[in-house]
Amino acid sequence: MLTDSSQIDNYRQSFPALSNKAYFNYGGQGPLSQPAWTAIQKAYEFVQQTGPFSNAAGSWVATQVTKTRQAIGADLGVAPATITLTEAVSVGCNIALWGIDWQPGDHLLISDCEHYGIVAAAEQIGRRFGVEISILPLLNNPDDPVEILANHLQPQTRMLVISHILWNTGQVLPLAEMVKLCHSQQRSVAVLVDAAQSVGVLPLNLEQLGADFYAFTGHKWYCGPDGLGGLYIHPAALASLEPSFVGWRSVINDPVNNKIDWKPDGRRFEIATSAFPLCAGLQAALDLHQTWGSQQDRYRRIVELGRYLWRRLVDLSGVTCLLETPPEAGLVSFQTPGRSHQQLVQQLEQQQIMVRSIPSPDCVRTCVHYFTLESECDRLVEAIASYLQGKSSEI
Amino acid sequence: MLTDSSQIDNYRQSFPALSNKAYFNYGGQGPLSQPAWTAIQKAYEFVQQTGPFSNAAGSWVATQVTKTRQAIGADLGVAPATITLTEAVSVGCNIALWGIDWQPGDHLLISDCEHYGIVAAAEQIGRRFGVEISILPLLNNPDDPVEILANHLQPQTRMLVISHILWNTGQVLPLAEMVKLCHSQQRSVAVLVDAAQSVGVLPLNLEQLGADFYAFTGHKWYCGPDGLGGLYIHPAALASLEPSFVGWRSVINDPVNNKIDWKPDGRRFEIATSAFPLCAGLQAALDLHQTWGSQQDRYRRIVELGRYLWRRLVDLSGVTCLLETPPEAGLVSFQTPGRSHQQLVQQLEQQQIMVRSIPSPDCVRTCVHYFTLESECDRLVEAIASYLQGKSSEI
């Protein structure tokens, strides 16, 4: 684990995006490291050199796809066969949502802290299949999510849709307990997790965690390229999930191209051509994290920095943090009652400090990664203080 | 239109992939031009410079997405609002297949010359919704596809799935007439077109053509990056198609992020984060084609070269072309009875001549683009001749 500040400065130089700004939007999109970008460039060049469409280029692409699934599996503590590569978190969620054999009258429970893209997907399942949707109220009940969940499961509930780390408040949910509760119902309830904010942050062992479907992306906390993510499907849940959108990557064919069967694993949910050079980029992004320290080390540092920023914000007059207790991850959201959040975000961006506003609840969200600097946090807090004091603060 | 050979040589230097090989796999993947690659690189750099997640980067991405839809719309003779950006041809086909309100007993007709990825998608629709699938036999009936179609439509047929240019034989179907026939049935039959081999080849005016759904990719004949394509939805068909996989790009929200409605146009079928820098690459790819000449000029040259290659192959002893009449596009497929096609492909690749085998019907497929050289065709034909003569022909 790098602790020496010159080592950290050196490490941060791997990320060109960090050279000209204080960056707090890891939960939106992580910066692409130079090694990841170089790997992508080399991949494009190699494909053009050997193809682009040829046996040699095709073999290389197949290897990259395999290695990407392996690298992700290693990070999540699961076999590569449990990983489906996708374009984005939402695609993974849609694969799980559309793969269930829904019957009219089935019930889907979704928390009130889910990203609106996932909410739209769940609502469309409701419309298309006559599934009843109801809301698990976590926002105003942060203290015991398991008890709240117990009160909202119904006999006809078939699926819970929930984030591991809430994208708005930053709360880390006790997911293992919630999964256990869902699976212990008379009719087992499948759990679909939006892992946009947890993959690349929490040390994970997904098989132990037990969630049926865990959808993530490479372009946020992993700091890989946008357009490449994945879906973990628990081995016990694979048989329950029908493929929906499918293509040549989903199937095994006989020599005259008649489909014999689905691919035996998560690949059956992959569709067709993707931006394959990005696979090299995501692998390089994952490799780079490991040079800094173990998952545990990185997570510990994220929490330290999250708590440092949270405490500084709690101490700031005119600021209310959404979490009332110190964060257990890197998301720190706050409100500035009576003062516009969007204007604050814009003013910070003019000073090259990147945060974002969240519409529900109306707030400003900041994210710290393990390689965030305390001095960056200080700069952010001071700029917020200036804004609240009404100074124009053009640094 | 460039006709002078030094101009053509100069133009071809825009494609690094062409510098070290004779390339005949445009139908698999087109080479990425230097301007397209430079645009992608600059896009990545710009996004890192201004974000990656910031208001400035977000605005730039939104503009790129809009401009890409405009550029594609301009090429296809339709309004940008009719274009859904997708990851691949198959994704576009799945959007159309899953968007129909299928009822048990409905019938879907699919030709026997469709790509196996699309066949798998259609078969899964059959399984999931109790839809009957049957086959339109075009392979052995190339002479009058419209008559064959008339004989295979049924009262309960709801959709025809068909390619505009058949990926195996290279036949260009009389799509406008086939669409007219489908739409004139007592119960109108929707037409979903796999346009993998026609977009970037045929001069197209999709509104006039009348097909309901026309799914294409940027990475084949357009010579854009892999991982970015689109789906055209005829304005008259939009209301009939329900969104299936959806996400934040599909919806319009109120200020607290509750969904108000779907996006009013093709964007409702887009899901979430994609590899957005690729948008800049596809735009540059489309711009480059226009510097060579008009759509009509390029198509004319493709046909000239296709016929040149076809005639040379017809004249070659031991070779049987799949098309019995001169091609109307750039795909020329052939068989070498008694000699292995895969071995031929491998041997050609060792000589840096890129063609592919197709499993059904078992054949070798070659593709010429408008910037293919006659001398490349000659080199290919000579290498095939050497193979058939049993020479090792390591040039």
Summarize pLDDT for B267-286 with one digit per residue, the tens.
999 999 999 999 999 999 99
The pLDDT value recorded for residue A391 is 57
Which residue among B20, B53, B273 places its CB closest to the CB of A356?
B53
Other beta carbons within 10 Å of A140 = 8
Determine whether the interchain pair B49/A253 forms a contact, defined as Cβ–Cβ distance below 8 Å.
no
Other beta carbons within 10 Å of B311 = 16
**Alpha helices, H only, chain B:** 5-12, 34-50, 55-76, 89-99, 116-129, 145-152, 175-183, 206-209, 235-238, 277-292, 295-314, 341-350, 374-388
The three-class DSSP label of residue B204 is: coil
Determine the Cα–Cα distance for residues B170 and B173; give it in Å rounded to an integer: 9
B379 by Cβ neighbours in 10 Å (0-12 / 13-18 / 19+) ranks as middle
Q: Are A310 and A326 in contact (CB under 8 A)?
A: yes
Q: Are B321 and B312 in contact (CB under 8 A)?
A: no
Side chain identity at A349, as an amino acid letter? E
Determine the Cα–Cα distance for residues B17 and A393; give it in Å rounded to an integer: 51
Determine the Cα–Cα distance for residues A382 and A259; give it in Å rounded to an integer: 62
Give the pLDDT band (50/70/90) at residue A393.
Answer: very low
A-chain CB neighbours of B51 within 8 Å are 17, 25, 29, 354
Interface test with chain B among A24, A29, A32, A223, by most B beta carbons within 10 Å: A29
Query: Six-digit token pair at B278?
Result: 């690729």
The pLDDT value recorded for residue A390 is 84
Residue B395: is its pLDDT beyond 50?
A: no
Determine whether the interchain pair A227/B226 forms a contact, defined as Cβ–Cβ distance below 8 Å.
no
The residue-averaged pLDDT of A156-172 equals 98
The one-character DSSP state at A226 is T
Residue A319: is its pLDDT beyond 90?
A: yes
Residue B205: is its pLDDT beyond 50?
A: yes
**Alpha helices, H only, A53-194:** 55-76, 89-99, 116-129, 145-152, 175-183
The pLDDT value recorded for residue B394 is 43
Q: Are B168 and B323 in contact (CB under 8 A)?
A: no
Determine whether the interchain pair B128/A242 forms a contact, defined as Cβ–Cβ distance below 8 Å.
yes
Residue B31: is its pLDDT beyond 70?
A: yes
Determine whether the interchain pair A226/B94 forms a contact, defined as Cβ–Cβ distance below 8 Å.
no
Side chain identity at B31, as an amino acid letter? P
Q: Among B58, B273, B281, which Cα is nearest to A229's? A: B273
Give the pLDDT band (50/70/90) at residue A259.
Answer: confident
Query: Six-digit token pair at B50?
Result: 């201004």
Other beta carbons within 10 Å of A382 = 15
The residue-averaged pLDDT of A282-302 equals 97
Determine the Cα–Cα distance for residues B9 and A384; give it in Å rounded to an integer: 58
The pLDDT value recorded for residue B258 is 86
Determine the Cα–Cα distance for residues B151 and B149; give it in Å rounded to an integer: 5
The residue-averaged pLDDT of A85-106 equals 98
Residue B170: is its pLDDT beyond 60?
A: yes
- Cα B6 to its chain centre, rounded Å, is 30
Sign of dihedral through CA atoms B183, B186, B192, B197? negative
Provide, rounded to the nearest whole percent, the portion of chain A with pLDDT above 70: 98
The pLDDT value recorded for residue B390 is 84
Question: Pairing mode, if any, of strands B22-23 and B353-354?
Answer: parallel
Give the pLDDT band (50/70/90) at residue A287.
Answer: very high
The pLDDT value recorded for residue A395 is 39
Q: Among A116, A93, A106, A94, which Cα is nearest to A189's? A: A106
Tracing tokens 């503009």 back to the chain, one arrives at: B63
State the smallest CA–CA distance between residue A359 and chain B in angstroms. 5
Residue A394: is its pLDDT beyond 80?
A: no
The residue-averaged pLDDT of B212-221 equals 98
The residue-averaged pLDDT of A313-324 equals 98
A227's torsion region: left (phi>0), alpha (psi -120 to 50) or beta?
left
**Alpha helices, H only, A315-373:** 341-350
Interface test with chain A among B45, B55, B87, by most A beta carbons within 10 Å: B87
Q: Are B316 and B384 in contact (CB under 8 A)?
A: yes
Determine whether the interchain pair B116/A248 forms a contact, defined as Cβ–Cβ distance below 8 Å.
yes
Q: Among A217, A123, A91, A214, which Cα is nearest to A163's? A: A214
The pLDDT value recorded for residue A258 is 85
The pLDDT value recorded for residue A256 is 84
Q: Are A279 and B120 in contact (CB under 8 A)?
A: no
Determine the Cα–Cα distance for residues B222 and B286; give it in Å rounded to an integer: 7
B-chain CB neighbours of A55 within 8 Å are 345-346, 349
Side chain identity at B209, as an amino acid letter? L
Sign of dihedral through CA atoms B192, B197, B202, B203? positive
More confident position, B1 or A353? A353
State the smallest CA–CA distance between residue B186 and chain A in angstroms. 27
Determine whether the interchain pair B16/A48 forms a contact, defined as Cβ–Cβ distance below 8 Å.
yes
B-chain CB neighbours of A117 within 8 Å are 246-251, 271-272
The pLDDT value recorded for residue A1 is 59
Q: Among B395, B380, B375, which Cα is nearest to B9's? A: B375
Determine the Cα–Cα distance for residues A241 and A234; give it in Å rounded to an integer: 11
pLDDT in tens, B105-155: 999 999 999 999 999 999 999 999 999 999 999 999 999 999 999 999 999
**Alpha helices, H only, B24-105:** 34-50, 55-76, 89-99
- Cα A42 to its chain centre, rounded Å, is 26
B-chain CB neighbours of A243 within 8 Å are 124
Q: Among B133, B198, B166, which Cα is nearest to B361's? A: B166
Residue A104: is its pLDDT beyond 50?
A: yes
Residue A130: is its pLDDT beyond 60?
A: yes
A-chain CB neighbours of B251 within 8 Å are 116-117, 120
Of A190-199, A302-311, B3-12, B197-206, the poorest mean pLDDT is in B3-12
Query: Six-digit token pair at B132?
Result: 């009957």
